[in-house]
């Protein structure tokens, strides 16, 4: 039986590289010279457009970075110079958990990576260390841990719940 040449062709190698880049991207971020946990994204389908610097992950999409976890029907990431600058998630229910400190959910979420600010829209909910904020739109600053809420609810107002143990 003749021996076959098992070396991959250049096209096969390029297709494999593209497949790996689209289906299981791992991006290492650096902020001010300091390494940050890698980002791992999983989804049923992925489209990466290198010319526009966007990646769209659809179908049970998940993004994990250290202790931060985001789940949505669709996650869209915008890159500048190879690093994520904007993460947008939407779906029937978008959830975000961060180090057991904050839990957030809504139908749409926008995360501005550079300023570490999250905006949540439509039935927005944030639980920050037991304090619950609800409204039509919430903004959460990951650095200062500040929450800003706007409108919503049945009566058009925001809702805040302060745990009883904090009032003692």
Domains and CATH numbers, the chain: 10-167 (2.60.450.10)
Handedness of CA 92, 78, 41, 19 (dihedral sign): positive
Note the pLDDT tens digit of each residue in 94-123.
Answer: 999 987 778 899 999 999 989 989 999 998
64-83 pLDDT, tens digit each = 988 889 999 999 999 988 78
Provide the 3-class DSSP secondary structure of residue 60.
Answer: strand
pTM of the entire predicted model: 0.73
């Amino acid at each position: 039986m003749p021996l076959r040449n098992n070396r991959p062709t250049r096209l096969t190698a390029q297709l494999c590289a593209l497949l790996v880049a689209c289906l299981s991207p791992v991006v290492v971020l650096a902020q001010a010279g300091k390494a940050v946990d890698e980002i791992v994204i999983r989804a049923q389908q992925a489209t990466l457009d290198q010319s526009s610097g966007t990646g769209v992950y659809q179908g049970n999409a998940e993004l994990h970075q250290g202790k931060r976890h985001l789940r949505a029907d669709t996650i869209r990431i915008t890159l500048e110079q190879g690093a994520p600058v904007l993460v947008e998630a939407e779906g029937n229910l978008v959830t975000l958990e961060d180090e057991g400190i904050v839990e957030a959910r809504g139908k749409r979420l926008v995360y501005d990576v550079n300023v570490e600010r999250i905006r949540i829209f439509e039935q927005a909910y944030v639980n920050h260390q037991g304090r619950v904020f609800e409204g039509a739109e919430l903004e959460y600053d990951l650095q200062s841990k500040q929450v800003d809420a706007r409108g919503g609810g049945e009566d058009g107002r925001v809702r805040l719940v302060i745990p009883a143990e904090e009032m003692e």
